[in-house]
């Protein structure tokens, strides 16, 4: 069992990367990690080690009283499937948003979640909480650049769809996808021009009133339901 000091370092991306471990708080996420087959390397309860020591293992305002550390699985390249259904997250910065989208992706029956550009660590506590455990189960892959992502998708015959307020965008709902990839852009800037230029189709989510955009998780939920979920669930 690792020490409390060592476990506390797992609250940082550097600690998780160097140790090859991650930490979760709360019995539900501990159970999710065990069910997903992760190996536990330490567990601590506030009632046993004291509130002060336990607080070092948590990044929440109200700790849940139990935390556990697990070994990360060996890193391996994700094998894209030609009939797969994926969401591609480009430069998303908010761990809570990423966690919510991972949860939505699992609920919609997607094959995996892809990241492009600056990727949030899916094993960060905020992502794990936001995903309600989905981050522990969903296959993920990372691409450094839009060109690299597009090349990998094209190699297996996966079309890439994006969403943007453009005059040539197709109204969402006019067609669906049997397989393919739906891209979601950065929370503030949206999809980059580089990635939009590589899309096989760009759609727009119809909105009433003066609203110009939706949050990344809201847009992802609508797009994934309309393009992948409606005809399958």
pLDDT tens digit string along 148-181?
999 999 999 999 999 887 777 788 876 777 899 9
| CATH class of residue range 85-229 | alpha beta
pLDDT tens digit sequence for 181-204? 999 998 888 899 999 999 999 998
33 or 213: which leads in pLDDT: 33
- Predicted pLDDT at 102: 98
- Predicted pLDDT at 190: 87
Question: Is it the case that residue 53 has pLDDT exceeding 70?
Answer: yes
Question: Is it the case that residue 233 has pLDDT exceeding 70?
Answer: no
119 or 130: which leads in pLDDT: 130
Same topology, domains 4-71 and 85-229? Answer is no
- Predicted pLDDT at 180: 96
In the structure, what pLDDT confidence band is assigned to residue 13 with cuts at 50, 70 and 90?
A: very high
How far apart CA 219 and CA 43 sit, in angstroms, is 37
Share of the chain above pLDDT 70, in %: 98
CATH topology of domain 4-71: 60s Ribosomal Protein L30; Chain: A; (3.30.1330)
The distance of Cα 144 from the centroid of its chain, to the nearest Å, equals: 16
The token pair that represents 57 in the structure block: 């293992």
Complete DSSP assignment for the chain: ---HHHHHGGGSHHHHHHHTEEEEESHHHHHHHHHTTPPEEEEEEHHHH-HHHHHTT--SSS--SEEEEEEPPPP------TT-EEEEEES---HHHHHHHHHHHHHTT-SEEEEESSPPPTTSHHHHHHHTTGGGTS-EEEESSHHHHHHHHHHTT--EEEE---TTPEETTS---SSEEEEE-BTTTBS-HHHHTT-SEEEE----TT-----HHHHHHHHHIIIIITTT-
Q: Angle of helix 95-107 relative to helix 216-224, nearest 10 degrees?
A: 10
Domain spans of the chain, in order of start: 4-71, 85-229
pLDDT tens digit sequence for 213-231? 789 999 999 999 999 877 7
**HSE-CB of 204 using CA atoms within 13 angstroms:** 13
**pTM, entire model:** 0.92
How far apart CA 94 and CA 117 sit, in angstroms, is 14
Q: With contact defined as beta carbons under 8 Å apart, do 212 and 98 qualify?
A: no
Q: Provide mean pLDDT across the span 15-31.
A: 97
Closest by Cα among 115, 119, 199, 105 to 161: 199
In the structure, what pLDDT confidence band is assigned to residue 40 with cuts at 50, 70 and 90?
A: very high
Q: Provide mean pLDDT across the span 55-68.
A: 92
Least reliable range by pLDDT among 40-49, 68-77, 106-115, 140-149: 68-77
pLDDT tens digit sequence for 84-99? 999 999 999 899 999 9
Q: How many CB atoms lie within 10 A of CB 48?
A: 11
Tell me the average pLDDT of the chain.
92
- Predicted pLDDT at 2: 94
- Predicted pLDDT at 204: 86
Tell me which long-range contacts 10-14 makes (C-beta under 8 A, separation of at least 24).
10/69, 11/57, 11/58, 11/59, 11/125, 13/121, 13/124
Partners of residue 89 on adjacent β-strands? 115, 184
């Amino acid at each position: 069992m690792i020490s409390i000091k060592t476990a506390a370092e797992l609250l940082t991306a550097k600690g998780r990367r160097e140790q090859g471990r991650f930490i979760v708080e709360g019995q539900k996420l501990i159970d999710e990690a065990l069910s997903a087959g992760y190996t536990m390397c330490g567990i601590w309860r506030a009632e046993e080690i004291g509130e002060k020591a336990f607080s070092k293992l948590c990044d929440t305002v109200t700790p849940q009283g139990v935390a556990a550390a697990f070994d990360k699985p060996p890193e391996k390249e994700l094998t894209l499937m030609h009939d797969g259904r994926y969401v591609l997250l480009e430069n998303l910065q908010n761990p809570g948003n990423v966690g919510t989208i991972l949860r939505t992706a699992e609920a919609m029956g997607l094959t995996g979640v892809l990241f492009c550009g600056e990727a949030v660590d899916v094993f960060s506590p905020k992502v794990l909480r936001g995903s309600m455990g989905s981050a522990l189960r969903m296959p993920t892959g990372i691409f450094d650049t839009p060109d690299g992502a597009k090349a990998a998708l094209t190699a297996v015959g996966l079309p890439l769809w994006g969403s943007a307020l453009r005059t040539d965008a197709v109204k969402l709902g006019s067609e669906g996808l049997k397989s393919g990839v739906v891209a979601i852009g950065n929370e503030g800037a949206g999809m980059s021009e580089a990635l939009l230029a590589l899309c096989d189709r760009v759609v727009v989510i119809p909105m009433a009133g003066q609203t110009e955009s939706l949050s990344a998780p809201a847009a992802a939920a609508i797009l994934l339901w309309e393009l992948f979920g409606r005809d399958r669930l």
